[in-house]
Structure 1
Amino acid sequence: MKIIAVGAEGDIGRAACGELSARHEIIRVGRSSGDIQVDIADPASIEAMYRKVGKVDAVVSTTGEVHFGPLSDFTHEQFMLGLTNKVMGQVNLVLRGLDYVSDGGSFTLTSGVLDRDPIRMGTGAATANGALGGFVVGAAVELPRGLRINVVSPGLLEVSEERYGSFFPGHERVPSARVGRAYAKSVEGVVTGQVIIVE
């Protein structure tokens, strides 16, 4: 398969690409790195990416920004960061990608653990994650041409422990290999409309 991987250089992106690259052609995409650059907050940038790459068999997105901070300090703009970037950025990868993904192909998005196992200062991420789960459940019943869609929802990766571990007290750390297999399940398997939890 020919697969676009958006956010390929992040911890989750590396896990997904590490699993899939052994069997598939991966086009690595990032904001400032990779084979192609894209700003997922800009639908025109997403469209330009698809035009440059052409037809693909799958799209994997492991990207999206959210604001972390105390709920009492949150502003409208800070909530909108997660909704505009992590949610609508990934939604637009699907909407703009419908004409570029081959019949029977798939979209795999990424959310995270915080909508089911919250932490302090994580309300923005929890909101975005929940919205992405709702989107894939709803979109799965309407996608044309046998297309499938899922969202992978991993806990904190072991490789992310040093940078983010102190924010996730008591949370189990997840091996990258297990996260990578979740993306393989979505891309190579048959499920659709699923939140694929990795804990």
Structure 2
Amino acid sequence: MTAAAMTAAPTTPALTDPTPVPESALEGRRLVVVGAGSHTGRLLARAASRAGAGLVLAGPDPRKLEWTAGELTGPAEVVPVDLADESTIAELARRTGPFDHLVSTAAMPANGPLAELDRAAVQRAFDAKVVGPLLLAKHLAGQAAEGGSFTFFSGVAAWRPAPARTVMATTNGALAFLVQALAVEIAPVRVNAVSPGIVDTGSWDGLGADKDAFLRAVAERNPARRVGTPDDLVQAVFFALANPYVTGTVLHVDGGGRLV
């Protein structure tokens, strides 16, 4: 090898800079939020509205939906829907028309000891987490724009089952598999799930004076050494909506809580 060859710069393939990510992937988009009257649904709707999206707010309680709508900076339409009633899902599809993304935060826990479970409560839990998402895809997939997506909410209980949480673990786990099946069934529409761990959205406020101690204990055992914040969930959802190469995936937003 000559001295010139030894000092020459190595030959490497030319690199192409990635396409810049737009400042707001939701600017001018139409977003359907099912469960927009819940803690997480409200927070997500508010963030999406600030990012420039037009919203369709869906859920079983019109009063809560109107409350959410009143907090938004941009346009929003309120559409009552009951995920246990297919006719209301069909009506949601009719009133929504073309849209870009749908996010469902819907949940109806049926917690309690196995011997005390009520069949009707179990059915409602499956309607919210499994049957409802299936029917949302059935009625709305054909209206999703190019690059559109569905994002559902699973939960850490599927990976960390506990006594008296059997139904919660099962519905969240079923949803994780449903996401994979739908990603194939309704492609190229993308389908993903976000799986939160313990997140301080306000849903733990019912613990009263015990809340701080509970969250502190969670943080101490989580590999991330913290509990989740609403912004953690919002950023995960926005990632699922914006990344065109992510589908059939569960995004675990749990600080590693499912691992310990």
The verdict on a shared fold, with TM-score over 0.5 as the criterion, is: yes
Match of residue 250, structure 2, among 170, 195, 198: 195
Q: Which moved more, 1:45-54 or 1:165-174?
A: 165-174
Indicate the residue corresponding to 1:178 in structure 2.
Answer: 232
Match of residue 41, structure 2, among 8, 13, 26: 13
Match of residue 99, structure 1, among 142, 154, 160: 142
- Residue 23 in structure 1 maps to residue 49 in structure 2: no
Q: 1: distance between equivalents of 2:47 and 2:236?
A: 9
Indicate the residue corresponding to 2:108 in structure 1.
Answer: 65
Q: 2: distance between equivalents of 1:127 and 1:139?
A: 18
8 Å Cα contact 2:84-2:124 kept in structure 1: no
C-alpha root-mean-square deviation of aligned residues, in Å?
A: 2.1
* Higher RCO, 1 vs 2 (CA within 8 Å, ≥6 residues apart): 1
Indicate the residue corresponding to 1:147 in structure 2.
Answer: 189
Amino acid at match of 1:46: I
Amino acid at match of 2:192: N
Structure 1 runs of 4+ off > 4 angstroms?
Answer: 164-170
8 Å Cα contact 1:16-1:184 kept in structure 2: no
Once the two structures are TM-superposed, the CA of residue 75 in structure 1 deviates from its matched residue by 4.4
Indicate the residue corresponding to 1:40 in structure 2.
Answer: 83
8 Å Cα contact 1:18-1:180 kept in structure 2: no
Match of residue 160, structure 2, among 106, 117, 124: 117
Indicate the residue corresponding to 2:176 in structure 1.
Answer: 133
Q: 2: distance between equivalents of 1:198 and 1:7?
A: 19
Q: Residues 7-41 of structure 1: CA distance to partner in whole angstroms, max 9, x if unpaired?
A: 11212112322332223111111211221111111
Runs of 5+ unmatched residues, structure 1: none
Aligned in 2, Cα 1:90/1:171: closer, same or farther, shift over 3 Å?
A: farther
Q: 2: distance between equivalents of 1:171 and 1:92?
A: 35
* Secondary structure, aligned partner of 1:192: coil
Q: Which moved more, 1:70-79 or 1:49-58?
A: 70-79
Aligned in 2, Cα 1:171/1:115: closer, same or farther, shift over 3 Å?
A: farther
8 Å Cα contact 1:113-1:153 kept in structure 2: yes
Indicate the residue corresponding to 1:90 in structure 2.
Answer: 133
| Identity over aligned pairs, percent | 31
Normalising by structure 1, we get a TM-score of 0.90
Q: 2: distance between equivalents of 1:53 and 1:76?
A: 33
Q: Residues 61-112 of structure 1: CA distance to partner in whole angstroms, max 9, x if unpaired?
A: 0112131111232244443232233210122111111122122210011111
8 Å Cα contact 1:64-1:89 kept in structure 2: no
Amino acid at match of 1:171: V
Q: 2: distance between equivalents of 1:176 and 1:78?
A: 27
* Secondary structure, aligned partner of 1:36: strand
Runs of 5+ unmatched residues, structure 2: 1-28, 66-77, 220-226, 255-260
Q: 1: distance between equivalents of 2:207 and 2:146?
A: 39
8 Å Cα contact 2:107-2:125 kept in structure 1: yes
